[in-house]
Structure 1
Amino acid sequence: MAGGLVALFDDVALLARAAAASIDDVGAAAGRAGVKAAGVVVDDTAVTPQYVRGLSADREIPIIRRIALGSLRNKLLIILPAILLLSQFLPWLLTPILMVGGAYLCYEGAEKIWHRFSGHHDDHASAEPAMPDEKTIVSGAVRTDFILSAEIMVISLNEVASEGFWSRAIILAVVGLAITILVYGVVALIVKMDDAGLRLSQTGKKGVAAFGRGLVKGMPKLLSALTIIGTAAMLWVGGHILLVGSDELGLHAVYGFVHHLEELAHEATGALGGVVGWLVNTVASAIVGLVVGALIVLVLSLTLHRRKAKTEARQPESAGH
C-alpha cells in the first residue's frame, strides 16, 4: 500500500512538472508572438484615442471600456475561431481575407486625409458641434479595431504555426487578452492625462503643480499628434498587409522593389542600417496604402457617395410636396 501511494505521488509530481513546463512553453510562445505583433499594437494604441476626442471627461472611460470589450469579442469570439479553422482546413484563404482588411485600413486613412484637405473638415468645424453618438463612436472604433486585431492575431498565428491545434488556441487567446489589456490600459491613461494634470496643478507644491499644468497644456497637442500617428498607422499597416499579401499570392514585383530599397538602405547606412531599412519599408508601405486608399476613396466618391448625395438632395423636395 505504501509503495503504491508513493508511486501515485510520483505520478502526480510528474504530471505537475509536465503541466508547469507546458505553461512555461505557452508563456514563452505567447511572448514571442506578442513581440512580433508589437508594431500593430503601437498602431492600435495610436488610433484609438481619436475616438474619444472632444467628449466630456465622464464619457471617456465608459466608451473606452465598451471599445475594449468589443475588441476582446473581436479577438476571442470571431477572429480566433476563424483563423484557427482556416489555418487547419483552408490556410490559403487567410491571406486574401487579410488583404481585404488591409484595403479597408488604407481607405480609412486616405478618407481622413481627404476630409482634412478637401474643406469638409473646416465646414464641420464651423458648425455647431453636436454631441457624439456613443453607439456610432463605439461601432466605428470596434470596426477599425477588428482589422488591427486580425493583423495581430494572424502575425501571432504565424509564430506558433508549428504548435498543435489546442496549443495554438491557448497561446492566441493569451496573446489576444494580454494585448487588449495593454492597449486599452495605455489608451485610458492617455485620455485621462489632462484630468490627472488638473488635480496635480491644484496641489500646494510648486513643482508638482507646474508638472500638472504642463500635462493639461500638453494634452491637446498629444491628441493631435496621436490623430496624425493613427492615420499614418492605418496607411502603414494597410499598405504593409497588401505588400506582403501580394508577394505571398505570387505578385512579387512591388514587394520585391520595396525589399530591394530596404536592403540598399541597410547596406548604405552601416550601424543604423536596421533602423533606416525599417523606415524605408514603413514609408514605402504607407505610400502604397495611401495610393490604394485614395483609389478606393475616388471610386466610392464617384459611385456610392454621389448616389447618396443625390438621394439626400431629393428628400427635401419630396418633403416639400
Structure 2
Amino acid sequence: MSTTVLRKDSTQVSEPSPPPVSRKAVHRQRALRAVGRVLLYTALAAVALAVLLPFVWTLVSSVKADRDVFTVPVEWIPREFHWDNYRRIWTDIPLAAYLGNSLFLSVVITFLQVLTGSFAAYGFAKMRFPGRDLLFTGYIATIAVPWQAYMIPQYIIMQKLDLVNTHLSLILLQAFGAFGVFLMRQFYLTIPDEISEAARLDGLTEYGIWARIILPLSKPALAGLALLTFVQTWNDYMGPFIYLTDNSLWTVQLGLRSFIGQYDAQYAMIMTGSVLSVLPILVVFLLGQRYFVRGIATTGVKG
C-alpha cells in the first residue's frame, strides 16, 4: 500500500505505507506484558508478606504459652492454643483503663493538632505579611531538631507548672506540630488564591474564609494529618513513660510493662496485649485510608 503526498509544487508523490504489524509480534508483545504483570504482582505479594510477617508472628504468639513463644524454629501453628489469654488479660491488668487513657489522649491531641496545624497553615499559605516565608522556614526547621535535645527543658517547664503526672502535660506538649503545619500548607497551596480573594470581596473575614471555605475543601489533607497524628500518639511510649507515674493514668503502651517482672516476663500476654492495642489503629486506618491516600498524594503538587 502507498499514500499520496501533495508537495509544494502541487505534484503528487507516492510514499510507501509502514508495513503492517504481524500477528506473531502482537502476541509476543501481549505475552511480554503479561509476564511483566505477573512478576510485578509476585514482587508486591512478597513485599506485603514480609511486612505482615511480624504481625502474623505476634498474632500466633498471643495464643501460645510463655515457653512456646521463642521456640526455634518458630512454630507458626501452635501445638496447643491458649485462647484464654484474651480473657485473662482483662483481669490480670486494668487493660480497659489503659485503652481508655490511650484513646482519650489520641483523640484530644489529634483534634488539637488538626485545629492548630490547619489554622497556622492558612496564615502561611493564604495571608501575606512581612517575613512570612522566613518565619515558616524557621518553624519547619524545628522538625530537624531531635526530641532528646529539648526533652529535659520541656520536663523542667512541666515540673515548674506542676503538670507532671497529668494528661494535661502530654496534651500541651503535643497540641502543636510543625509537620502538621507543613502538610496542611502544602495542600492549601493547591487551592487557587482567587477563591480567597472573592470571599474577601464578599465581606468574609479571614476566620470565615478559613472555616467556611478552606476547611471544607481540605478534607483529604485533614484526614491524612488526623490519621498520622492518631497513630503517632497511640504508639507513643517515651512521652507517657516520662510524664506519667500513676498507674491509673498509664496508656496501653505503658500498661504492657506490667507483664515484665524483675527476672522473667509473660511474653504470651505481652503479645496478646499488643494485638489488642493494634485493633483500634487498624479500624481507624480502614475507615480513613481513602482520604489519607488522597491527602498525601495532593500535598506536594505545588510548593
Higher helix proportion: 1
TM-score, length-normalised on structure 2?
0.32
TM-score, length-normalised on structure 1?
0.31
